[in-house]
Amino acid sequence: ALEATEGLEWEDVKVDDPSTWLQLEPELIKAGFSAVERQRIVAGVVNANALSEAKIEAARERFLLSRQAAAEE
């Protein structure tokens, strides 16, 4: 996520205000990141925040294990 990196500061992007998220690319350009670096950053953010079948399955397994543990108490 955009706020997970310690020491990372944004001038125009506010992680809790989606209306500012389109400022991500211009701010990365202003900071001197190359096109490849910007693509990697954006891809990492998307990957961290997007659902995938693997993430859904892992969440399902954790949920079922928690239900099983609660039933055993």
Is 51 within the bounds of a domain?
Answer: yes
**Closest residue by Cα to residue 27 from 39, 38, 15:** 38
pTM above 0.85, yes or no: no
Is 62 within the bounds of a domain?
Answer: yes
What's the total number of domains in the chain?
1
Is 37 within the bounds of a domain?
Answer: yes
Query: Averaged in consecutive runs of 10 residues, what is the pLDDT profile of the chain (73 residues)?
Result: 73 90 93 96 86 94 94 88
CB 2 within 8 A of CB 10: yes
- Its domain, for residue 48, covers 18-72
- Read off the DSSP letter of residue 34: -
Is 8 within the bounds of a domain?
Answer: no
pLDDT score, position 26: 95
